[in-house]
Amino acid sequence: MKSFRKELWFSTPTRRAYINITPQVEQCLVESGINDGLLLCNAMHITASVFINDDEAGLHQDLDAWLEKLAPHAPVSQYRHNVGEDNADGHMKRSVMGREVVVAVTKGKLDVGPWEQIFYGEFDGRRKKKVLVKIIGE
Amino acid sequence: MKSFRKELWFSTPTRRAYINITPQVEQCLVESGINDGLLLCNAMHITASVFINDDEAGLHQDLDAWLEKLAPHAPVSQYRHNVGEDNADGHMKRSVMGREVVVAVTKGKLDVGPWEQIFYGEFDGRRKKKVLVKIIGE
Amino acid sequence: MKSFRKELWFSTPTRRAYINITPQVEQCLVESGINDGLLLCNAMHITASVFINDDEAGLHQDLDAWLEKLAPHAPVSQYRHNVGEDNADGHMKRSVMGREVVVAVTKGKLDVGPWEQIFYGEFDGRRKKKVLVKIIGE
């Protein structure tokens, strides 16, 4: 069994952001030399997400507005977590979108559908945060 | 390490549908000859889901009504993604239900609880779409 | 490839509960002797969740109130699943929070971020239910 591990770092200028990280994840796979197995990609912070969806700007605006409706940021005083913090909504938004994706690796490629793109979802940005890529296989 | 890969295809007559695919996934496991490891089952389309829940028709009606309340289909004009499309809500419903499940394989069986059943959740059907089953182990 | 499997059992006195199970999962990893690989931790019941978030009591109160707003328990008659049962909302709450987490194992440790803690989320408690820990690697 071969194994590969790499951290990817992100710092977004805005509180919320959606970044297509598929090229970086594909680069990890190339570096790993792994041809067949499973790839885990997860946020290492609890107000961020790694998810798979469409790379379409309108959809990202829709997702952002929808998440803000499901778990509004303001008023921050509505959340008990916000004692010296203001990111309770980020924990909820990330719960909806999920922490991680597991992707099959086949013939040295990400074994994904034609429209599947891997995104970093940031819900409490403006600081450095990291994503883990772990691959096991042969 | 052994590895197995198979695509399952679905085409539902309705926009939304919930199909118990546990028998097909179990059949993949038999074909794989893998006795111990991990099984990934994921939608390869971004308006569909693979999830685990109860095989009970009332619950599926409840889930469907609940998802429609959280992310309504109509009016389609409320979503910026719907430029020449009408499936923005499907992207959101799938975000709630998740893209994939990872299931343990033990002694040649899906290592699941007594009520756990694997479902394909369709949120923009009426066309052929596929699910990936990938198994690694020994 | 090495493999490890263990069930963890929980019985909460309340309908809903959030329990930090990171120490038990770490203990499984020690018992496994696995140094590098992937760890799956999943609820084996369909009204429970395993998720990763912050171990902060205010946040857990926020998550609980938020889940109750998204998928209210009462009136139980609003759900078709509740024929002789009253836990339809638990199926929905668990859908939001997710069934499972997959965590990288590196150098014999859970390869997680500084604030990542693994939780058992119970949405229909007051009876014995189990969580599966499965680890594969070397």
CB contact under 8 A, C106 and A134: yes
**What's the whole-number mean pLDDT along residues B92-104?**
98
- The answer for residues whose C-beta is within 8 angstroms of residue B66's C-beta and 6 or more apart is C71, C92
Q: How many CB atoms lie within 10 A of CB C56?
A: 18
Give start and end residues of each alpha helix (H) in chain A.
22-32, 57-70, 88-97
Q: Compare all CA atoms of chain C with the CA of A77 and give the residue at the minimum distance.
A: C62
| C79 Cα to chain B: minimum distance (Å) | 6
Of C62, C115, C136, the CB nearest to A46: C115
Residue A84: predicted pLDDT: 87
Of C57, C102, C115, the CB nearest to A100: C102
pLDDT in tens, A64-79: 999 999 999 999 999 9
Interface of B with A in 11-70 (CB under 8 A): 38, 40, 42-46, 70
- Average pLDDT of every residue of chain B: 98
| A46 Cα to chain C: minimum distance (Å) | 5
Question: Radius of gyration of chain B from Cα atoms?
Answer: 16
pLDDT in tens, C55-87: 999 999 999 999 999 999 999 999 999 998 999
Helix C57-70 vs helix C88-97: crossing angle, to nearest 10: 120
pLDDT in tens, A32-61: 999 999 999 999 999 999 999 999 999 999
CA C50/CA C40 separation, integer angstroms:
10
Distances (CA, A) of C70 to A46, A138, C65, C96: 20, 43, 9, 9
CB contact under 8 A, C61 and A71: no
CB contact under 8 A, A45 and C138: no
Residue C42: predicted pLDDT: 99
**What's the whole-number mean pLDDT along residues A101-109?**
98
Residue corresponding to tokens 């559908």: A113
ipTM value, please give it: 0.97
Q: Taking CB atoms and an 8 Å cutoff, what residues of chain C touch B97?
A: 95
